[in-house]
Amino acid sequence: MLNKKENNGNVYSHNLVASGTKITGNLDADTDIRIDGEIQGDLSCSNKVIVGTSGLIVGNINCVSVDIMGSIEGTISAADNVSMKATSNIKGDIRTKVIAIEPGAHFVGNCKTNSQE
C-alpha cells in the first residue's frame, strides 16, 4: 500500500498489486488501486483502477473509472470513464459513460456508452 500526505496532514492511501504478485480470488478496494501484477478474480473498487503495462486481470471489473495499459479478460463496468492506452489489450465487454481509445489499443468485445445514466 502506498500513502500520500494531503495538505491538511491527513493521509490518503491507495492500494498496489505489485509486479510479480498473483492474487486468486475476488478483491474489493475502497480507495484507488493500481494493478501491476495479476488478479484471477473479480475486482470491485469504489474509486479509480489503474492497470499498468505488466498488469493482468482475468475477471470482471466494477469501478468508477479505469485507466488500462495492461491486459483484461472480462467485463468492465465503469460508472464514469474507461481509458484504453496504446499498450492495452482487452477481451470482454465494456459499459461506461465515456470511453477513450488510443491508437494501438486492442479491444475484442462489445461496448455500450450512455451519458444519460
pTM over 0.85: yes
For residue 106, pLDDT over 60 is answered with yes
Q: What is the pLDDT of residue 14?
A: 77
Q: Is 45 exposed, middle or buried (0-12, 13-18, 19+ CB in 10 A)?
A: buried
For residue 42, pLDDT over 60 is answered with yes
Q: What is the pLDDT of residue 32?
A: 96
- Contact between 49 and 28 under an 8 Å Cβ cutoff? The reply is no
Geometric angle at alpha carbon 71, from 33 and 60, rounded to 5°: 65
Q: What is the pLDDT of residue 115?
A: 65
Q: What is the pLDDT of residue 4?
A: 46
